[in-house]
Structures are given as C-alpha cells and as structure tokens.
Structure 1
Amino acid sequence: MQMYDIFWQFLICAFLIVGAVFCFGGSVGLLRFPDIYCRMQALSKPVTLGIFNLIVAYILFLYYTDLGFSLKGILAIVFLIITVPLGSHMMVKASYRSGIPMWKESMVDELEKWNKKMQ
C-alpha cells in the first residue's frame, strides 16, 4: 500500500465517521427532545451536516476508485442544503399556526412577538 492510498482511505473514513456521528446526534435529539419545535431543530441541522459528509465520502470514494466524478453527488448536496432547512422551517411554522403547544418550560416565543407586531 502506498501513502497515497492510506491518505484517501483515511479521508473517506473520516467523512463517514463524522457523518455518522451527526446523523446519530440528530436521531438522539428526535427521541429525547420534548416538542416538535425542538425536534425539528435537532433533525434539520445535524442530519443535514451528517448526510452532507456521507455524500462527500461517496464522491471521494468514486474518485479514489477511478469510477469518475459524481455530479449527482454534488447536486444531491446542493438540493439537501436548500430543501432540508427550508422544509423543517415550513413544518415548524405550520405546527405553530395549527396551535401545537410549545414545551411548558420554553423560555421565549419569538413567533408570538412577531405575530403581535404584524397585526
């Protein structure tokens, strides 16, 4: 094995491990947090970063094994970064407008202040 191979394998494994840790953190947040607002926060950010790292590992693996460069992987990253935060924001806003209550120990309701100011 050459040093070149070890470098690529280490880099790919590092991206896989970081992605797995972020995805695991988001999953734990989904199970542990008390209401939909906290859960969406726990799902959108870490899982976006986790999937981003997993797709980067996939792109690097394809490049390392001489299977080519993955434009589909780049497009997946772009759509992931655009759609996941936007979708989670819309679901939280719809939940708030539907009247789903916040956790009883929540400190601040920023949307309530904004809604009062807009009326």
Structure 2
Amino acid sequence: MIQGGKTVSKNRMEAYLFCVNCEKDTPHEIEYKEDRISKITCHTCRITVEINQEFVNKHFKEEFAKRVLSKPIRMTEEMEADLSGFLKSLPTRVLSKPYRVYKEYTDKSKQ
C-alpha cells in the first residue's frame, strides 16, 4: 500500500515516481541497503532499476553519489516541512535540475 512517500519499513519506502516504462507517475517501492538506494520497482509494470553501489562509487565522487541517492529522503523531509513552498518551487527545480547536476558533475570531474 502506498503511503504518500512514507517509510513502510526500515529498508523500504513507497512513493509515486515517474516510470519511464509506463510513461506516467506510478507507485514505486524503493529499497535501501546500508542507508543507500539499492533497488526501485514500479508497482504497475514491475520494471526494476538496481543501483550498483560499486559502479556508482567508482564513477562518481563519494559526496555527489550520497547526495543523488539520498534525494528522495531529502525531498520527503522538505515536503513534510513546507508543502506549499515545496510545490511552488518544484516546476523550476524540475526544469533546472538536470543542468545543475551535469554542471556540478563536470566541474568536479575536472578537479
């Protein structure tokens, strides 16, 4: 059962996310191992994305990977703290985030 992006067990969380296979927002289960996302499964089409932590750590800087993988938790906390402000800022953030992530990654890769 989806509980509005709430944790349903210590190692699992359920949330509505955009599914690239279904091409719409659908309920997903997010599984964690050692406080990091390990797997995301769409409840509608059952497509699963597994996160290989070794690959992530090898190809990305540690703090960058931690921030990306902890984003669902931070967004949930932000929504709970100020839903109105979160919803107002969301369209701009969604449009600008891919560029900001790319810029940060390329800047850090040059270091």
- TM-score surpassing 0.5? no
TM-score calculated relative to the size of structure 2 = 0.36
TM-score normalised by the chain length of structure 1: 0.35
Instruction: Choose between structure 1 and 2 for higher RCO, CA contacts under 8 A separated by at least 6 residues.
Output: 1
Higher helix residue share: 1
Higher strand share: 2
